Structure formats: C-alpha cells, structure tokens
Amino acid sequence: MVFNVKRKRYIVTIEGNGSTQQAVIVAYDTEEMSWLIKKLYGHLLIDQKGQRVGRFSFEETELG
C-alpha cells in the first residue's frame, strides 16, 4: 500500500526575545511544522522562566 502524501513548504516568521527571524520548514502537516519550530526556535518563543514571550506565523505552499 502506497500513500501519496506530499510535504508542504512553510515560510515562517518567528518573533520573540527582541528579534524577528524567518525560516523555511518542510513538513507533512502543520503539527510537524509546529514541533520543528518549537525544537529549533524555542529559545525565541519561551523565556528562561518558561513564559511564552514569542509567536510565529506562517504561509503554507505545496511542494511541486
């Protein structure tokens, strides 16, 4: 059985800790993309006390 699931490109803007960064994430869905953002850019989203100090927004496109 073969699944025809395509990955998507997410152009992400991360704002937090006084800086703004952009990244391109390739993932199967928004859940995986969100997990990768938290893993790679968590230091911008959460401060040392564990408080949310950042946010991210994204634009989704299909990979061709």
Residue 20 or 2, more confident: 20
Average pLDDT, the chain: 90
Instruction: Provide the whole-model pTM.
Output: 0.81
Quick one: pLDDT band at residue 1, thresholds 50, 70, 90? low
The rounded distance, in Å, linking the Cα atoms of 63 and 45 is: 27
- The string of pLDDT tens digits covering residues 18-44 is 889 999 999 999 999 999 999 999 888
